[in-house]
Chain A
Amino acid sequence: KNQVEQSPQSLIILEGKNCTLQCNYTVSPFSNLRWYKQDTGRGPVSLTIMTFSENTKSNGRYTATLDADTKQSSLHITASQLSDSASYICVVRGDAGNNRKLIWGLGTSLAVNP
């Protein structure tokens, strides 16, 4: 069972609409949680990094939330644009020993249609 699970697996929305992507994780202890955007055939680009004590962080039209108690995070995209079409990946970093590496989710594939 993957320690970082994302939903939905894929999503199609119309340009201008909002959407929310979910991430549940079981990684413990926990250091930080990251959201990356990966365009097809490109490397991931960091959107947000949140530590244990942060509940929300924004980066332009992207707003990430984190509930460390329930081990859930969400990424909200406002007023979507065609260029938002990409895979959005939730990544959690553990905080002890061999668990210090990044644990990658499988991503949510978002398609924004005109």
Chain B
Amino acid sequence: GAVVSQHPSWVICKSGTSVKIECRSLDFQATTMFWYRQFPKQSLMLMATSNEGSKATYEQGVEKDKFLINHASLTLSTLTVTSAHPEDSSFYICSARAYGSSNQPQHFGDGTRLSIL
């Protein structure tokens, strides 16, 4: 149980393109979803936290107008990287947590590798 599906797994596109990444919780309702970015040999960096039906909370230094997050249902959150540039190339990972204690684990998707040419 507790499967999180992330799509697409790999994206290569031209600079200036907008890219949408989907994160779905397949067998549980995720009241909270998290978006991370990971550069090679570095730890995961939290970009934003989204709660279903409300605006996402962005971490310091993350541009909310560039990284648009929508959490419209209890099973789906999307991250749109607008007007992507080569420096946005990274591994983007979502995670989801069911309703309950913050001691509950986050369940992670398999990530999206984004390459901007």
Contacts and interface: CB of A to CB of B under 8 A. Distances in A.
Interface string B72-89: 000000000000000000
Interface in A71-114: 89, 93, 100-102, 104-107
Interface in A37-93: 41-46, 49, 51, 89, 93
A46 B103 contact: no
B105 A43 contact: no
20 contacts: A31-B102, A31-B103, A32-B103, A41-B110, A43-B4, A43-B93, A43-B95, A43-B109, A43-B110, A44-B93, A45-B108, A46-B105, A89-B44, A93-B102, A101-B46, A102-B46, A104-B43, A104-B45, A106-B43, A107-B43
B43 A44 contact: no
B42 interface: yes
Given A101-B46, A104-B43, A106-B43, A46 B111 contact: no
A106 B45 CA distance: 11
9 cross-chain pairs, A with B, having the tightest CB-CB distances, nearest first:
A43-B108, A104-B43, A46-B105, A43-B110, A44-B108, A43-B93, A106-B43, A42-B110, A43-B111
Contact of B44 (A31, A42, A46, A104): A104
B7 interface: no
Q: How large is the interface on B (under 10, 10 to 19, 20 to 34, 35 or more residues)?
A: 20 to 34
A104 B34 CA distance: 14
A104 B45 CA distance: 8
Q: How large is the interface on A (under 10, 10 to 19, 20 to 34, 35 or more residues)?
A: 20 to 34
Contacts of B108: 43-45
B43 A46 contact: no
B103 A43 contact: no
Nearest to A106: B43
Contact of A41 (B43, B44, B113): B113
B110 A89 contact: no
Nearest to A9: B41
